[in-house]
Structure 1
Amino acid sequence: MSTGRAIEAVTQTLRSLLGQVAAQVTARPPDQAREAGTGGAQLNLFLYDVAPNPAWRNLEPPARSAGGALHPPLALDLSYLLTAYGDTQDEAPAHRLLGEAMQLLHDGAVLTRAKLSGVLAAAGVHLQPERVRLTPVHLGIDEQSKLWSGFQTNYRLSVAYRASVVLIDALTPADAPLPVLRRGRLPLDALGQDQGVPVSVGAAPRVDRLTVSAWRGNPSFPARTGDGLAVDGAGLAGGRVRARFDHPRLPAPLWADAAAGSTAERVLLPVPPALPAGVATVTLAIGPPEGPVITSNSLPLAVAVRLGPPALGAVGATTVRVRVPCDRLLVKDQPVLLLVGGAQLRPTAPVRPGAVPSFDVPRTLPARTPLTLRLRVDGIDSVPLSEPAADQTKPLPTAFDPAQQVVLP
């Protein structure tokens, strides 16, 4: 594809074409087009704007779409101002020259490979997959006035053209992976060909709602270790049903089989103990492990930690060291905050896997005042309420759990 000299190649190609109607074709700013001592018929081609091409800006080159990590080319539109000068003070010869130049560019609106390679083949513009096309652009009185006044020179009759599109290849080479040897499962068929990608006929499963069963389907409560999940939707049967739990802090997803009592409209799932706190996504996969497997859409799942009994540590004049254990293993550098008494406290030391975080709680309230603790991990707060009753007919708890409170001396 094109190199960094692509802009120069297009400009030089246009100058070469315009040389058929004028002996003198320059590429100067408007205020320097007619240098002192020069005269005669002249065409001046000035590049006044370079803009990204919106159609090609995010389009990958088709020849590289199978490579993996891709980098699109730099796609540009070049805007030129074409001005004609006569050999006398009369403007009529300049008008004739401008008309002939416009006629020439109208007939050669597409810059062919031969034209581009004949002027500057090293630029490689003739090798790009898209042709460079010339389009006349109307500049209003206001635009022309700003353009000419910016060069502090007298206005002359001009016409604008846009050359689109010029593709400049990236300097970073694309990856070159090995070819795919087969698709689908083994064994091969009688002719030694692969079986292709397995497909199945029917509507894909749809997941509409994901809630924690213990909280009666209240979506404001996060999931915790030991909780059961209820996934409501449609088409959630037809084979083995598994759930894939993805988390940005996991190197690989976690899998869990559907629990007993699942139906085509509701799938019951356990919360994997190894799922870190934060925001995960849940996707259902239906079908045998050897395939074909149909996957549903994904829904977010808020995962919180369960707090253990807090322990008091060193007592200072203004703060008290409090250790707050939790059931879920914290990931290295995972953001952790302790919410207590309206304050958000950072741990006294960086979070390390397996370590119990400690916090310096300020002594701003009277002594022996119980303080309810909440641990915010990756943006998800622990639930400071008592455990809900197993009996679904009983109301949800509305009081804070004393086991998640601390009393400062």
Structure 2
Amino acid sequence: MSNALALATVTEALRLFISRSVQADVPLGVNVVAGRPPADPPDDPTITVFLYQLTPNGALRSSDAPTRATDGTTLRRAQAAVDLHYVISCYGAESELVPQRLLGSVVRSLYEEPLLSVADIETAAERAFLTGSDLAASAQRVRFTPNQLDLDDMSRLWQMLGQTPYGLSVCYQASAVLLDGRTAPIAGLPVRDRRIVVEPIVTPAVDRVLSVAPGGVPDSGPVTADRDLVLIGSGLARPGMTAHVAGLPVPVRAADERRVIIGQPERLPPGPHPVQLRYDVLFGDQPRPLLESNAVAYVRRPRIRQVNAGAGGVTVVLDLPVRADQRAVLLLDGPGGSYRFDAPHPLAVAGATTDRFLVPTPGVEAGRYLVRVQVDGAQSPLETADGVYSGPTVEV
């Protein structure tokens, strides 16, 4: 855990570490400051510690997202993982090679102690401007590793600093600093008891969906409201089975390993809908819905119960309710040719359903036409007699 003062605390702790370490190697009264390299290089022994860039930590960036419950309550606090990039510059009398002596001490010290110590962090947090810093309590330790910049990258870095002349420098990366969010997660109840259940499970798989009329045999014909669904697959017969169509529970008529017959929801509108089987697994003495098959879509097709033609167009009555947001199309086929007309949208007031709507049909030649209605891609079936289509029809 660490708050917004973590970045400044790392910089101050690094400054304190360098100040303490170089005194043993270069007893010249070195001044270690946190800030940009100076525009006027000093002659006194000086080391500047400058944070010039912040980047997301590649290892932890995928695991720092907040976790929330279904009601939006925070279960895990948001946490940003970042890396800090420093340029450490050394100044002093070139005639005595002071910059090189200082740089050698910095590199040796950070190689020998790459982890930022808790003691340095706590000392840094005693500064008045860092009061409230809690970086010392973080479980994530900050490690310094040298950054190898080529001449082009180093040139761009110093160009970024404006008119500041180049000083003998080395770049380091501090990984990783964790910044916690402000929202406090809720505390969950403790685990009352633990139960481990081992059970061989074969995942049920639904391959395709057929339908069957009452007293008939399954076929791949149009799935209308008066037919049951037949799920064909493998490993379907298990205890505790429930069937769901479009998320609604439906009755299971019959079931075996390869085939399950289920009903359809009564007021389900036409269109494509998912079908899925779910199974309860005995977890201790309580059944839990832990196993489910894959979801397979089928198309629920409407039937035309009544159709009439008038001055305003063709009025269609379906056997299924149609939602206001669904798209309906009227298709006419007859001696005058084939016609397609879009029904007015929306078909009903928002949130309501309707099974009756009027479709304007301008320009249709007089005659008898076969009628079909297509709702969201689900087309009503035609009736047949003696191998030809016979209905439903309308006289225009």
Coarse TM-score class (shorter-chain normalised): 0.7 to 0.9
The alpha carbon displacement at 1:77 in A equals: 2.5
Describe the superposition over 1:369-406 as per-residue Cα deviations: whole angstroms up to 9, x where unpaired.
85643111xxxx222323799xxxxxxx996x844x77
Determine the C-alpha separation between the residues in 1 that align with 2:304 and 2:239.
40
CA contact (8 A) 1:18 1:101 kept: yes
Match of 1:203 in 2: 201
User: Max radius of gyration: which structure?
Assistant: 2
Give the distance between the partners of 2:289 and 2:143, measured in 1 at CA. 48
2:5–2:133 Cα contact (<8 Å) kept: yes
Q: Which sections of structure 1, spanning at least 5 residues, go unmatched?
A: 184-195, 248-252, 390-396
Corresponding letter in the other structure for 2:141: R
For 2:240 and 2:384, the matched residues in 1 are separated by 31
Shift of 1:39: 3.8
Query: In the superposition, relative to structure 1, how do residues 321 and 157 fare at CA in structure 2: closer, same or farther (>3 Å)?
Result: farther
Q: Is the 8 A contact 1:223 1:301 kept in 2?
A: no
Rounded Cα–Cα distance in structure 2 between residues aligned with 1:113 and 1:388: 86
- Letter of the aligned partner of 2:85 in structure 1? Y
Q: Report whether the alignment pairs 1:301 with 2:297.
A: yes
List 4+ stretches of structure 1 deviating above 6 A: 61-65
Provide the identity percentage: 22
Between the aligned partners of 2:360 and 2:96, the Cα distance in structure 1 is 86
Determine if contact 2:320/2:355 at 8 Å carries over to the other structure.
Answer: no
In the superposition, relative to structure 1, how do residues 150 and 82 fare at CA in structure 2: closer, same or farther (>3 Å)?
A: closer
AA partner of residue 25 (structure 1): V
What is aligned with 1:280?
274
Match of 1:24 in 2: 31
Separation in 1 of the partners of 2:273 and 2:308?
A: 30
- For 2:31, the aligned partner's letter is Q
TM-score w.r.t. the length of structure 1 is 0.72
Q: 2:264 aligns to what? A: 271
The structure with the greater share of residues assigned to strand is 2
- RMSD of aligned C-alpha atoms? 4.2
Work out the CA distance in 2 between the residues paired with 1:39 and 1:96: 14
Q: In structure 2, give the amino acid aligned to 1:339.
A: V
Structure 1 distance, partners of 2:349, 2:39, is 69
2:326 corresponds, among 317, 336, 348, to 336
Which of 80, 85, 90 does residue 85 from structure 1 map onto? 90
Residue in structure 2 matched with residue 6 of structure 1 by the alignment: 6
Q: Distance in 2 between matches of 1:313 and 1:46?
A: 83
The number of equivalent residue pairs is 364
CA distance in 1, matches of 2:198, 2:278: 16
Cα contact 2:207–2:232 (8 A) shared by 1: yes
- Map residues 227-238 of structure 1 onto 2, 5 A cutoff: 227-238=227-238
Tell me whether 1:48 sits opposite 2:52 in the alignment: yes
Query: After superposition, what is the alpha-carbon deviation per residue over 1:318-344, rounded to whole angstroms, capped at 9, x for unaligned?
Result: xx58566451463xxx63112342758
Moved more, 230-239 or 271-280: 271-280
User: Partner of 2:26 in structure 1?
Assistant: none
Equivalent position of 1:125 in the other structure: 135
TM superposition shift of 1:227: 3.4
Q: Distance in 2 between matches of 1:273 and 1:7?
A: 62
Q: Which moved more, 1:71-80 or 1:338-347?
A: 338-347
Q: Does the 8 A contact of 2:42 with 2:91 survive in 1?
A: no
CA deviation digits over 1:279-338, x for unaligned, max 9? 43513316689537662333142453525446679956xxx58566451463xxx63112
What secondary structure does 2:209 align onto?
strand
SS at match of 1:295: strand
Q: Structure 1 residues 56, 208: closer, same or farther in 2, change over 3 A?
A: same
1:174 and 2:185 matched: yes
